[in-house]
């Protein structure tokens, strides 16, 4: 008898997948909470540090530090750059990485550095995960590894 679980390594061109089971409303306000905030009026940045939580609708992003980059005309936030134990959660899916760069207007989050995506009992890992929150889709690239679990939730052993 063979094991009913499957571990594969996909080619470097990438793997397309659903992310979050639902689309995130990228037009909703972005809320950031943290232990501390430092603002630099000259370069138009703000740095949130310590237990940072970013929320926008159903989407949650947590990290050790989040750099907020404002638009050149200071009319709003252009990007959020999260570093240190980054976790992005949207609906039932969660992704972990060393860094995430979220462009607010486009709803695109680019996660890099030991990326791990969990979707229920299944997991995917790779070098980069591009998440489109507006469409609820993602693309994992760079030496992608996938583990699929059987319906009963545990791999069968050879007997």
User: Domain limits of the chain?
Assistant: 6-148
In our burial notation (b when 16+ CB lie closer than 10 A, e otherwise), range 112-132 reads beebbbbbeeeebbbbbbbbb
Distance CA 108, CA 65 (A): 19
Which CATH number is 6-148's, of 2.60.40.1930, 2.60.450.10, 2.30.36.70, 1.10.645.10? Answer: 2.60.450.10
| Tens-level pLDDT at each residue, the chain (159 residues) | 333 333 333 434 466 777 765 467 778 898 999 999 999 888 878 999 999 999 988 889 999 999 999 888 888 889 999 999 999 998 888 999 999 999 999 999 999 999 999 988 888 999 999 999 888 889 999 999 987 777 765 554 444
Q: What is the DSSP letter of 128?
A: E
């Amino acid at each position: 008898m063979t094991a009913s679980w499957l571990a594969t390594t996909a080619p470097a061109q990438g793997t397309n997948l659903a992310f979050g089971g639902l689309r995130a409303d990228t037009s909703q306000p972005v809320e950031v909470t943290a232990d501390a905030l430092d603002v630099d009026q000259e370069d138009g940045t703000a740095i949130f540090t310590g237990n940072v939580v970013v929320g926008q609708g159903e989407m949650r992003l947590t990290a050790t530090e989040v750099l907020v980059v404002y638009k050149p005309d200071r009319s709003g936030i252009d990007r959020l750059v999260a570093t240190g134990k980054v976790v992005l959660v949207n609906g039932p899916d969660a992704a972990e990485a060393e860094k995430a760069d979220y462009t607010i207007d486009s709803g695109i989050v680019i996660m890099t550095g030991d990326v791990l995506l969990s979707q229920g009992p299944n997991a995917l890992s790779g070098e980069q995960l591009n998440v489109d929150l507006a469409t609820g889709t993602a693309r994992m690239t760079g030496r992608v590894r996938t583990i699929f679990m059987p319906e009963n939730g545990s791999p069968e052993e050879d007997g």
